[in-house]
Amino acid sequence: MRPGREIMGEMKLGVLCSGGKDSVFACGRAMEKEEVVCLIAIRSENEESYMFHTPNVAFVTLQAEAAGLPLIEMKTAGVKEEELLDLRNALILAREQFRIEGVVTGALYSVYQATRVQRLCRELGLWCFNPLWHTAQEDYMQVLIKKGFEVIVSGVFAAPFDESWLGRRIDLHSLPLLEKYSEQYGIMLTGEGGEYETFVLDAPFFRKRIEIREASSEYRNYRGIYRIVRAGLVEK
Amino acid sequence: MILLIDLCYREDSLGFDEYVLPVARIVERLGFRTRSVHFHAVSAGECSGVKAVILCGTPLADNAFLDEPEDFSWLKTSRIPVLGVCAGMETICRIFGGKLEPCIEIGMTEIRVTGRDPLFPESHSFSAYELHTLACTDPGPMKIIAVSDRCIQVVRHPTKPVYGVMFHPEVRNEWAVERFLSMTRKDGISP
């Protein structure tokens, strides 16, 4: 009989982390079931990147520190398909440095993203997990809030989001409005269609929380970015 | 009650969220109750009161279920309708005498229906999500219902209401699960 994972103990996993709610939540889920040994962040210079969410990804370093996890960080020009080579290099580095056996992503519905990461993992002999895959969006958003994830909106890219959403916390007050937008404007409640992006300031597995000390906003025609300029960790 | 069998490498693995829960959500949305059990824990009495069984998929790197065929021997004697998804189809093929060989498909693939069946009543093509490293090259006694350019995509047992689909219906083809369950509702899966 081939040795099962149970026999071999917990699997060492690296979490592909954009700083947004889905990858940080997926990290927490992975921690409940296996051993997360590092975060992996791809910093794209292209704000239209097909694969990698960009606002505030530079501050994943604080999330890693808050979670007590090392971070593998790789820059990419963000050119379609070429950015996969940068991801590939990051995964190879994580495998070499932290002996990861698998990768976790926060993919919910994007076949485009999931397929590319699955192919890379296959090529590199790594397992691939997407614990939020085809999750029930309403339930997920409720759980996210109830479990204490502190999530802010770091970018909006669709109508009817106005400037007031930039930096706004996703909580039990703002969620009903997102649900209304979802019904009336067809946005995906989770923002998976790129309608909005998020950044996580606190999570149940963070030892400290992130405090934003300076930020700036740009907004025009239903598109805007909340850019963190300075931030640090504070006691919870 | 629809029994969902988790084929992942261990009970309560991270794969459960990705391969069992999405199927459970479809089934429950259709008005059925579900129960999930890991394939190691399926006993003879497990299927009592069960209207149909769905054998769920596994992560791409996870073929551990193939090492323990005795855990699926109940399939040979069961008369309950079964739908095997990806790893589930591989299991069904093996149990009923088919053969598997390496065949990788990752992502959307065009599928052509080649055989008439209540699950696929019309000849047509559709696009489906694939995630496998093995495929059934010799289906044994199973009837071939649909194919892709690379491999057999849908099979059915000649005398039992047992189906295997290589694609993942929980991604963009929920209708396949719905149609399978509607057939069980009518008790209408006849050879």
Q: Which residues of B touch A135 (CB under 8 A)?
A: 17, 21-22
Preferred mutation among B6, B7, B9 to probe A, highest tally of A CBs within 10 A: B9
> What are the domain boundaries of chain B?
2-185
User: Is 90 exceeded by the pLDDT of residue A78?
Assistant: no
CA distance B16 to chain A (A): 8
Instruction: Note the Cα A76 to chain centre separation in Å.
Output: 17
Confidence label for A53 from pLDDT (cuts 50, 70 and 90): low
The lowest-confidence range among A3-17, B86-100, B144-158 is A3-17
Q: Do A133 and B18 touch (CB under 8 A)?
A: yes
- Which chain B positions have a beta carbon within 8 Å of A16's beta carbon? none
Mind telling me how many Å the CA of B28 is from chain A's nearest CA? 12
Looking at domain B2-185, its CATH class is alpha beta
Taking CA atoms, what residue in A is nearest to B107? A115
Band (A55; pLDDT cuts 50, 70, 90) = confident
**Once rounded to an integer, what is the mean pLDDT over residues B19-45?**
93
Residue % of chain A over a pLDDT of 70? 93
B1 at A interface, C-beta within 8 A: no
Mean pLDDT of B126-141: 96
Percent of chain B predicted with pLDDT > 70? 96
* Average pLDDT, rounded, for chain A: 92
SS3 B42: coil
Asked if residue B123 has pLDDT above 80, the reply is no
Mean pLDDT, residues B109-133: 92
Q: Which of residues 114-173 of B touch A (CB under 8 A)?
A: 129, 131, 133, 170-172
Architecture of domain A11-235: 3-Layer(aba) Sandwich (3.40)
Instruction: Tell me the shortest Cα–Cα distance from B68 to chain A, in angstroms.
Output: 8
Non-local (6+) Cβ contacts of A226 within 8 A are: A55, A56, A152, A153, A154, A155, A166, A167, A199, A215, A216, A217
**Confidence at residue A52, expressed as pLDDT on a 0 to 100 scale:** 62
Mutate which: B14, B20, B177, vs A, most A CBs within 10 A: B14
Q: Which of A111, A121, A125 lies nearest to residue B107, judging by beta carbons?
A: A111
**Residues in chain B within 8 Å Cβ distance of A124:** none
For residue B169, give both structure tokens.
Answer: 């219906």
Q: B105: nearest CA in chain A?
A: A119
Give the confidence band of B69 by pLDDT, cuts at 50, 70, 90. Answer: very high
DSSP characters over chain A: -PPPHHHH-SPEEEEE--SSHHHHHHHHHHHHHSEEEEEEEEEES-TT-SS---TTGGGHHHHHHHHT--EEEEEE---TTHHHHHHHHHHHHHHHHH---EEE---SS-HHHHHHHHHHHHHHT-EEE-TTTT--HHHHHHHHHHTT-EEEEEEE-STT--GGGTT-B-STTTHHHHHHHHHHH---TT-TTSSEEEEEEE-TT-SEEEEEEEEEEEEETTEEEEEEEEEEEEE-
Confidence of residue A195 (pLDDT cuts 50, 70, 90): very high
pLDDT given at position B46: 76
pLDDT exceeds cutoff 80 at B47: no
Whole-number pLDDT of residue A46: 72
The pLDDT-based confidence of A232 (bands split at 50, 70, 90) is very high
CB-based contacts of A65, cutoff 8 Å, min separation 6: A208, A233
The whole-angstrom separation of Cα A10 and Cα A2 is 16
Binary contact (B14, A30; C-beta < 8 A) = yes
The SS3 call for residue B150 is coil
Structure tokens at B80: 């309950």
In this prediction, residues B18-28 reach a mean pLDDT of 98
pLDDT over 90 at A17, yes or no: yes
Instruction: Give me the residue from A1, A4, A128 closest to B60, CB to CB.
Output: A128
Q: Assess B15–A contact: CB distance below 8 Å, yes or no.
A: yes
Asked if B17 and A134 come within 8 Å (Cβ–Cβ), the reply is no
Helix (H, G, I), strand (E, B) or coil at B82: strand
Contact A127 B25 (CB under 8 A): no
Q: What positions of B carry a catalytic annotation?
A: 86, 168, 170
Average pLDDT over every residue of B128-139: 97
Residue B44 pLDDT: 67
pLDDT-based confidence at residue A77 (cuts at 50, 70, 90): confident
Distance from CA of B140 to the nearest CA of A (A): 24
Which of A29, A118, A122 lies at the smallest CB-CB distance from B17? A29
Give me the pLDDT at residue B190, please. 43
Would you list which residues of chain A are within 8 Å, Cβ to Cβ, of chain B? 1-2, 4-6, 29-30, 33-34, 102, 104, 111, 115, 118-119, 121-122, 125-136
Give the one of B21, B61, B68 whose C-beta lies nearest to A127's C-beta: B61
Contacts of B106 in chain A (CB under 8 A): 115, 118-119, 122
B30 vs A: CB within 8 A: no
